[in-house]
Amino acid sequence: MSICLLDGVSITTVEGLGSTETKLHPIQERIAKVHGSQCGFCTPGFVMSMYALLRNNPQPTPEEIEIAFAGNLCRCTGYRPILEGCKTFCDKENCCSKVKLDEVNQEIDKDNISTELYDSSKFATYDPSQELIFPPELLILGKEPPSSFSICGSEVTWISPISLDELISAKQDYPNSKLVAGHLEIGINTKYHGVSNRVLISTANVKELNDIIETANGIYVGAAVSIARLKEELEVIIKRLPEHKTRIFSGFVEIFKRFGCCQVRNVASLAGNIVTARSTSDLCTVLVGANCQLTIKSLEGSERQIIIDDTFFTSDGKCGLSSQEILTAIVIPFSKENEYMYCYKQSHRHDNSFAIVNAGLRVALERSSVTTWVVKDCTLAYGGMGPKILRAKQTSSALIGREWKNDIIKDSMALINEDLPLEYSAAGGAIEYRKALAASFFFKFFMKVQSDICKEMPLDHSAVSNICYHPSKSIQIFKKVNPDQPSDDDLWRPIVHLAGLQQTTGEAQYCMDIPQYKNELHASIVQSKRAHAIIKFAGFFIVKICDRNSLNCFNRSINYDDAINLPGVHGYISAGDVPGSNRFGHLMPEEDLFSTEKVTSYGQMIGLIVAETKEIADAAVRLIKIEYEDLPAILTIEDAIKAESFFFKPCHLANGNIEEGFANSDHIIEDELYIGGQEHFYMENQAVIVVPKAEAMELEISATTQSLRESQFAVAKALGIPSNRIVCHIKRLGGGFGGKKNRISSISAGVAVAARKLRRPIRLLVDRHVDMTIKGGRAPYLAKYKVGFDNNGKLKAVQIKMFCNSGYSMDLSPVIMSFSVIRLFGSYAVENFDYTGIVCKTNTNSTTAFRGYGTPQAVLITEKIMTEVANRCGISQREIRESCLHPEEFIASFNQKLENCQIRNVWSEVIQRSDYENRKLQVEAFNKNNRFKKRGIAIVPCSHGVGYTGIKFLDQAGALIQVYTDGSLLLSHGGVELGQGLHTKLIQICTHILGIPKEKIHLIESNSAIIPNATQTANSSATDLYGAATKDACEKLNERLVPIRADMPNATWEELISAAYSNRVNLSVAGYFVDPTETLFSFETKTGLAIKYYTYGAAVSEVEIDTLTGDHQNLRTDIVMDVGSSLNPAIDIGQVEGAFVQGLGLYTLEQQYHTPDGIPLMTGPENYKIPTASDIPREFRVALLRNSTNSKAVFSSKGIGEPPMPLASSVFLALQDAVMACRQENNASSSFKFDSPATPESIRMACADNITEKIKKTDQKDGEKGWGIRC
């Protein structure tokens, strides 16, 4: 939103609500104390969304809260604790956020469990009367007549008229100006696409454009009326007028609910959507379907009214409004007695997502006899079926005069297919799916109208109803704390995240919150725009750096004259400026820091522009011209296999006699499974600040890194200086998930080169679209498998060949693939197997570490095979898995005996807690009674091995405790707080060992000058390593204090420390830990340990799908997780929920596509969709296994950040189960393609039926390329 729209508005920020130093607002307190803040970067947004809701409704319903959060994203928590904290403001009688304990099977150790992660009785009371008052001066100003104003900036002039005449006059003065309502589209285009608008004219205060008037024909809506206001007005009218008169209004209201989110609806307008003219616009489609009238005024004064139809829209983004015309109003007509209208939308995600296809379908009927109705008029409008909004004209014409009965369905669907042809290259892809949606929407519409006019007819309501989204509820079950444990010993208690309160108040500091340095400059990255190309030869050229001319020997065709000459630009940094090595890598130096002669992927870093401001630097980057000579590009895994383009040697693991196993099998299945990649999508983008010091080439680096050591080393290597001249530090990260481990090191090195050259502090904040193209995420996998088994489902032989798309460099892919190979059939006993992992080299972004580190792919491959075996044999999914689960002391595929195996314990408990068998029967009963809605249920186990396999040097950690004479303690360690609660757990360890309250302990930051050579924070090992190092430091401190305690047995902690200081006891204690369990497994010899220990889990998930659209909802998930002895149940349960929801995104939602030329298509939140609060299970039940021990980690705990993620495969398999039920009813084959993610497209097209069978496949013209490819 433009700040110019806020004239006369009172703005309240999260800092203005409350603070830890004064008084917390109840929202801030409750979100923190209900454990709703992990990394904290998204938390202020949730606080303010809730605050806006409470100011308008002090006692909201759970539904209203979830609607209010539709525009907020979180990647850490899984949303459950945020929702739960905010639902404490609901009326207790209507609040349903918690599953009651009596609804849960209590036979499992019921006297030893707790479900209370917080004490709500201690929350401050919320009193709406104590809220901030609206500023009196603004109230006074609001009572005065409004006045027009204009603001003239260096780049933009903003004009805010108050009357239509003033608006027309301003438009006449500035004919090339843009009219602004909510500033949404213009703001996005300005910020991310470099579109410049010199003059903007606001419609917000124009009186005539803000009217809503009820007329004889309908509702007159001024062009500037917001969607939110219009929705409220229509809801009032619907309640007041007869039902038959407001059917069109009801259609609008329903589509408004799915339009953007409440934040968007508050500022967006109908007129803004019309002139923006997106081909997928929900509102434009409905306006056309309803035959709405537009009032258009010319600048000369004439006025015309038109009925909006598809001819008004000329192409995507363009409409029939000339530059000399202004849209002033829209009239939404009343519906007539026998007129019906319904609206439909299918999007990639339920909330805040553009439509794949939408429809506004209207029919007017007249009775021809007592029992028959004939079509009098019809409009079938569709969005997403071409380059603009379209009407199915042939279909509409053919329907007029026909009787409204079942035999029109077949004819209409055939005509719709002809009316709405999509070219093979149509933007958005999914051609056949979109055609199926168009037909399915008509079918739904027909059935709904049929039910309206023939209410006595029996009807399958599953055809007409949409998936119903109910508010979520949950329960968390964990072991009670020993009542004899001292109250100031916080270990094993669900205490609040150490920085939770600061994160809810906005006090928590992140990298970009560091105040600007004097003389600071800003950098922006110059990226390659080709997937594989040579940068053409040009010759030598001169580049102006600051006030000096210097010769740059980078002799390639990069023209940045316009960029350098832009006022405020200080220089261009490239490979020629690197004083040390321009090569870097993680397993070996395999790629350039700055690309020179050739680029091997879109998005690679070619150089940096350095300027006075970020905006100038970004603008300069857009002015750079690079000439390329394109080379053939390998993009997909299939391309790489065909070209034999591989990294490293394959990773191989085998056992038994595979050929004999196949020979002895009654059944053999050969198939393949594709698993798409995943973007990290952490809330805080990558960022770095480099400050050069005045002497000895010293540098201070603040970087969003999970590995201080790697960033420090990369900078030292690029600059050719020792590491001891570089201090790298960070206080916390706004999420990481593996994405801030490697690539930020090279970015930091590039900025350090610039800072050293220009001798000024330089700051770089990587924008989201750059962040998503300069690095890869989780690697896509393709598994080709062959499995043999007998009639009882016993596995005789399993052969799997996995390929991953590593991108243009290895990065960590060989290590990740080795983890995948080890984790195949990780919970099951298989005698004869042959597993191979191959890393593919392509011309896409280099994929990297991601939460789960190869396990999510391995588990889904395994569980897909187990499901197919059960289906082929007619054996239950539970039985087939139980028969193969690891027994105690089983020898795993990597030749290691499994100790303290808990897989059967978590399995049996999740079956009992979830009431699996009864619910399975309920699912079957539901499916029998609902033809077009199907449910599925699935159960999966997971065994996630923890440990750095084959990387001995990472299994070490350091910590430092410094105690001051007032008794306060400063703890430092080499780990990084990513939101996973590492700092909190380490403080709990300190309180337990030292016997002091947590308030005595503080952590400032992670700093390479304090803890050198720190092991990265990754692989679910940070608490294992740094917790053990902290424990070592605490125990050493206690040992030093033994003589003092002996002399002063009753001394307080403060007295003890004071005495120790007086006796010259060293109160600075270094802790160090070396893991005695060396995981040095060799694939060649099958010797050595592959894992330290397993973290076990099991999940049951139930889903419901709409077989006509592919829409689905996660109804319920039950998880039982073995975390050993949980150091903090609240944090561990938060990790379980957050990992599960992130896995849900991987398996069901998050898609990545490239153009056929290798350009990434998913580069921001507008087209890459992560789960929102409405995507989590409607019932989310998590239990921690009690009485589990683990001798391999600190205080018998277990790593938990990654292990729960593969359990989300239960949702994928439940969706497959629901699809299978549909196919069985339609007599379709039980064998079908179902890759990951299970998107609406995958689900709908797998539900083979009469509609999909009749969809004509779009022909590919000669030379025509598809819109996108999966890599």
The three-state secondary structure class of 510 is coil
Among residues 868, 1179, 1202, 1241, the one annotated as catalytic is: 1202
**Alpha carbons 487 and 497: distance in angstroms, whole number:** 18
Integer Cα distance of 987 and 989 in angstroms: 5
**Of the candidates 687, 1002, 749, 679, the residue with the CA atom closest to the CA atom of residue 41:** 687
**Phi, psi (rounded to 5 degrees) for 1053:** -60, -45
Which contacts of 552-558 are long-range, i.e. CB under 8 A and separated by 24 or more positions? 552/576, 552/577, 554/596, 556/596, 556/597, 557/626, 557/627, 558/606, 558/607, 558/624, 558/625, 558/626
For residues 247 and 234, give the distance between their C-alpha atoms in angstroms, rounded to a whole number: 11
H helix runs in 101-183, sequence order:
136-143, 164-173
Q: Is 451 helix (H, G, I), strand (E, B) or coil?
A: helix
Task: Specify the DSSP class assigned to residue 1038.
Answer: H
d(CA 962, CA 964): 7
Show the tokens assigned to 513: 């919150």
CB contact at 8 A, 771 and 626: no
What are the structure tokens assigned to 5, written together?
A: 């729209």
Per the CB < 8 A criterion, the answer to whether 224 and 271 are in contact is: yes
Residue 284 backbone dihedrals phi, psi, to 5 degrees: -65, -40
Closest alpha carbon to 1141 in 9, 6, 81, 57: 81
Which H or E element spans position 275?
Answer: helix 270-276
CA-closest candidate to residue 1204, choices 1134, 1102, 1113: 1134
Rg of the Cα atoms in the chain:
31
3-class secondary-structure state, position 522:
strand
Are 357 and 346 in contact, with CB atoms under 8 Å apart? yes
Strands annotated E in 1144-1258:
1179-1184
Question: Would you state the torsion angle of the CA atoms of residues 34, 39, 40, 43, taken in this order, to the nearest 10 degrees?
Answer: -70
The pairs formed by 1232-1237 with CB atoms below 8 angstroms and a separation of 24 or more are 1235/673, 1235/674, 1235/675, 1235/676, 1236/673, 1236/674, 1236/675, 1236/676, 1236/860, 1236/1146, 1236/1147, 1236/1148, 1236/1212, 1237/676, 1237/1145, 1237/1146, 1237/1147, 1237/1148, 1237/1149, 1237/1150, 1237/1151, 1237/1212
Strand 687-692 relative to strand 548-552, pairing: unpaired
In terms of Cα–Cα distance, which of 944, 915, 782, 864 is closest to 1210? 864
In 1054-1200, the DSSP E strands lie at 1068-1074, 1093-1106, 1112-1121, 1179-1184
CA distance 129 to 26: 13
> Does the active-site annotation cover 1039?
no
- DSSP-based three-state secondary structure for 327: strand
**Residue the block writes with tokens 């729209």:** 5
Q: Which amino acid is at 621?
A: V
Q: Count CA atoms within 13 Å of residue 920 on its CB side.
A: 13
Is the distance from CB of 467 to CB of 344 less than 8 angstroms?
no
Phi then psi for residue 987, to 5 deg, are -65, -40
DSSP state of 574: -
Compute φ and ψ for 17, nearest 5 degrees. -75, -40
Instruction: Tell me the catalytic residues.
Output: 1202
